[in-house]
């Protein structure tokens, strides 16, 4: 009879510690994750507002200007409807609306980043204008005292 290879005891085996798990725990326990989550939620809500702005406010007047066209209806039919199968269309009007959405969101983010950069520069400039005054050293205090004594002696004569 052939000998079967002995398998190691997996119940007592120690698995190697995965470094990225510890790094993720460290990252997840920091406040940055909460800040990021709040940013994502606000960003999603802002995206809905911008989509509504583009769809309901900006695109209708543009549609009227170019001849009463609803951008959602702008399509190219690639293959007509056959039986129960719907037509295959290229919806370029919807794409134009999404491009407008992106442009508005990108501009808004650009303005926020620009405002933050200006605020940071302003804060750094204020910090540079008011340098911290260091305490005079013992030698400087002694020299000041000598100067004051010399001034006093000069005025006494």
CATH number of the domain enclosing 85? 1.10.1200.120
The whole-model pTM stands at 0.49
Predicted confidence band at 135 (pLDDT cuts at 50, 70, 90)? confident
Residue 156, domain member (yes or no) = no
Q: In which domain, by residue range, is 27 found?
A: 19-126
CB 144 within 8 A of CB 136: yes
Q: Give the separation between CA 61 and CA 67, rounded to whole angstroms.
A: 10
CB 72 within 8 A of CB 93: yes
CB 94 within 8 A of CB 72: yes
Q: Give the separation between CA 103 and CA 51, rounded to whole angstroms.
A: 11
CB 91 within 8 A of CB 74: yes
Percent of the chain predicted with pLDDT > 70: 81
Residue 25, domain member (yes or no) = yes
**Tens of pLDDT along 42-55?**
888 888 888 888 88
Orientation of helix 31-52 relative to helix 19-28, angle to 10°? 70
Q: Give the separation between CA 21 and CA 15, rounded to whole angstroms.
A: 13
**Tens of pLDDT along 17-75?**
677 777 777 766 766 777 778 888 888 888 888 888 888 888 888 888 888 777 788 89
Structural domain total, the chain: 1
Assigned token pair, 13: 């085996």
Residue 152, domain member (yes or no) = no
């Amino acid at each position: 009879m052939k000998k079967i290879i002995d398998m190691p005891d997996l119940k007592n085996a120690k698995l190697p510690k995965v470094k990225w798990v510890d790094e993720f725990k460290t990252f997840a326990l920091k406040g940055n994750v909460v800040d990021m989550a709040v940013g994502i939620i606000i960003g999603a809500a802002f995206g809905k507002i911008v989509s509504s702005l583009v769809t309901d406010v900006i695109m209708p007047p543009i549609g009227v200007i170019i001849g009463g066209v609803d951008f959602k209806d702008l399509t190219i039919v690639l293959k007509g409807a056959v039986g129960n199968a719907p037509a295959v269309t290229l919806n370029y009007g919807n794409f134009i609306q999404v491009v407008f959405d992106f442009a508005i969101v990108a501009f808004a983010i650009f303005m926020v980043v620009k405002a933050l950069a200006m605020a940071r520069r302003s804060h750094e400039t204020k910090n540079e204008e008011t340098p911290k005054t260091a305490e005079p050293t013992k030698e400087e205090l002694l020299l000041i005292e000598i100067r004051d004594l010399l001034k006093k002696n000069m005025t006494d004569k």
